Amino acid sequence: MTTRLLAVVAAGLILLSACGGGSDDSKSDATASATPTTPSATASAPPIDPEQIACKLVTPAERAELAGGAVDEIIAASGTAGSSQCRWQSAVALIQVTTLPAKEWAKSLPDVVKQLESSSDVGSDAQQKDLAAAKKLLEGAGSFTNAEACDAFVTLAELGGGKKGQTTTVSSVPITETEQGISAQTCSGGELTSIIYSIPGLKQSTEVDQTVTKILASAQKRATKN
């Protein structure tokens, strides 16, 4: 259950892609392809706003460190209600950053828990116990303050197997049937910030976790200064 419950944290962010200006298609546009290609414009796509706060949270050098090369083309950037999202792409890599008030992220979580309740992956007594704890934790999530939402983030991370008090989670997310991406989230100062990135052959490891955690920490410092 630990990985499934930890996924609550990431899933809430992915479901909020629309809030951050992105798409809410089957998984997320950020996880649409392991080898991204420039998407064609659509009538429904919001205009790109490169002045979004999210576009300033990860430097060119940090994006190159994540992807192993330059990822500088902005393919989507917009935001609403205090949220901001920016997406960069190269021939073989895609990076998405989302930042928003933690209470807005929290509003999505009861729906995520409902999805887990109906999942066949949650069957054992231990899994059911963890899910019940998460459900109780998120009662009233729709009216959480930013501080309460960050507290819930920390508790969910602990229920998911994280260390006590940790404010950052890193997990592997499916990109295609054969490729994986990395999703990292942190919550502090009432702000939730997430980085999702994908490159071909990416596998979660201690080194990868340390790199994305370091870059996410820098992004969060910039986000909470705005």
Around Cβ 111, how many Cβ atoms within 10 Å?
Answer: 13
Task: Answer yes or no: are the C-beta atoms of 146 and 153 closer than 8 Å.
Answer: no
pLDDT given for residue 114 in this prediction: 74
pLDDT given for residue 41 in this prediction: 39
Cα-based torsion angle of the residue sequence 114, 115, 121, 127 in order, rounded to the nearest 10 degrees: -30
CA separation for the pair 179, 34 (Å, rounded):
6
Specify the pTM.
0.79
> Residue 173 contacts by C-beta under 8 Å, 6 or more apart in sequence?
10, 14, 27, 31, 180, 181, 182, 183, 196
> What length does the chain have?
226
> How do the pLDDT tens digits run along the chain, 226 residues long?
444 544 555 555 444 443 333 333 333 344 333 334 333 334 466 789 999 999 999 999 999 999 999 999 999 998 877 789 999 999 989 999 999 999 988 887 877 777 766 665 555 676 677 777 777 888 888 899 999 999 988 888 877 777 888 889 888 888 778 888 998 999 999 999 999 999 999 999 999 999 999 999 999 999 998 6
And the tokens for 159? 């229920």
Q: Which helix (H) or strand (E) holds 102?
A: helix 102-106
- Of the CA atoms within 13 Å of residue 164, those in its CB half-sphere come to 0
Please name which of 177, 158, 180 lies closest in space to residue 167, comparing C-alpha atoms: 158
- Of the CA atoms within 13 Å of residue 158, those in its CB half-sphere come to 12
pLDDT given for residue 207 in this prediction: 96
> Residue 23 contacts by C-beta under 8 Å, 6 or more apart in sequence?
17, 29
Task: Answer yes or no: are the C-beta atoms of 64 and 197 closer than 8 Å.
Answer: no
